[in-house]
Amino acid sequence: MPNSRRVGVLTAAGAAVLAFASACGSTAASSGTASPGMTSSGTTQAPAATAPATPPPGTPANAAVKVTTVSGLGQIVTDSNGFTLYRFDQDSANPSKATCTGSCATLWPGAAAPSQLTGNGVSPALIGTVTRADGTEQLTLNGWPLYRYAPDTKAGEAKGEGVDSSWWAVNPSGGEAKPATPTNSNAPDMPSNGVTNNTGNGY
């Protein structure tokens, strides 16, 4: 075969190969497909964000105060373990001041303030703290210092309700949770130890 004819055949074959390769490249680009984990530009895609496995702090199970219903009192506030919380008439809410100290605090220990002031069924805006005389932080609701009652040994008990006509279970707004039927106003104030007194401290 003459050299000039051989060169022509090789040139034509080369052009055909280039045309085929160009057509394949344009088809892949137009389809927009890419290998898994890769974008069409060739960069690696980040994995999709997932929600954290641990629930955020302050979930109802760990709430500082919770709302429960007690027969005769309706909705009242308890601590995280379900024990009734009380307020004391001799305290003040504005400013917050806790006056039950010394032997009074043995029977009516102040509700210790946790690190996170959260509530289940209670507005977080109402939950706060007050510094006691001994420097500890006591939980408050709508400004009123909150207390436990030592004779309440089980969740849901409210034995401190109405003691000395000064101690009351607390409702979700920080008010006094009182029985619908008024107590006998002529009856003497009788604390849990059965000794009548007028100190207002219940002991």
Amino acid 35: pLDDT:
43
pLDDT for residue 117 is more than 70: yes
Q: pLDDT confidence of 2, banded at 50, 70, 90?
A: low
Amino acid 78: pLDDT:
95
Amino acid 71: pLDDT:
85
The 3-state DSSP class for residue 141 equals strand
pTM score, whole prediction: 0.61
Nearest to 85 by CA among 109, 120, 49: 109
* Domain residue ranges in the chain: 60-177
For the segment 25-41, the average pLDDT, to the nearest whole number, is: 44
3-state helix/strand/coil string of 86-107: EEECCCEECCEECCCCCHHHHH
User: What are 122-164's pLDDT values in tens digits?
Assistant: 999 999 999 999 999 999 999 999 999 999 999 989 999 999 9
